[in-house]
Amino acid sequence: MIPPSPACRTEVARRADYRAFYENYHELYLLYAQARIPWSTAAADVVSAAFDDIAFVWTTALSSPSAAALAWGLLRQQVAGSALCPSCRPACAHCVLRPAMADAVVLHAYIGISLSETATVMGLNRGDIGALLCGARRRLADSHRLVRAMSHMGLHVQEGGDGRGSC
Ligand SMILES: [Zn+2]
């Protein structure tokens, strides 16, 4: 695939639908990046690079089943390149959980946005997010390492409890 020229990207950046997407998601993308990258200037750069990636594929994204899901994948990829995983200590949620599960934990449990908002930004439905969080809790109940990961993420969990909550 031939990458669009910078001029094309600027063109996309001026489009009302892209601008609206940027306005809606920029702040939350930044909070997510800051949660995973210890240096806030790096987090801002990473988010900016992710929006560049999104601009590259914007037309494709609009005709895909979920532009939000496609964009989220690009953001996660950019952030993963700058996060310390898998060597961060104590291990974070992304070191020990599947990426989508860990993202749901960061957004809902750590940043504290609602299930609906978490679903919207990840391009999933509420039921998917509930299932991801339940999966995370189940894994938490099974692993000592996860207990540390979850407390690192600001979750208050009882070590030795069944960890299943309302699942
Ligand atoms: Zn990590």
pLDDT tens for each residue of 67-90: 999 999 999 999 998 888 877 777
Burial class (CB within 10 angstroms; exposed 0-12, middle 13-18, buried 19+) of 133: buried
Paired tokens of 70: 């496609």
* Residue 149: per-residue pLDDT: 62
* Residue 117: per-residue pLDDT: 96
**Cut 0.75: pTM above it:** yes
Residue 59 C-alpha to ligand 1 middle, in angstroms?
33
Tell me the C-alpha distance between 19 and 46, whole Å. 18
pLDDT digits (tens, 9 = 90+) for 87-141: 777 778 888 889 999 999 999 988 999 999 999 999 999 999 999 998 888 887 6
Residue 77 C-alpha to ligand 1 middle, in angstroms?
14
Residue 6 C-alpha to ligand 1 middle, in angstroms?
33
Give all strands (DSSP E) within the chain, no chain letters. none
Tell me the C-alpha distance between 50 and 162, whole Å. 38
Residue 37 C-alpha to ligand 1 middle, in angstroms?
9
For the cut 50, the answer to whether the pLDDT of residue 165 exceeds it is: no
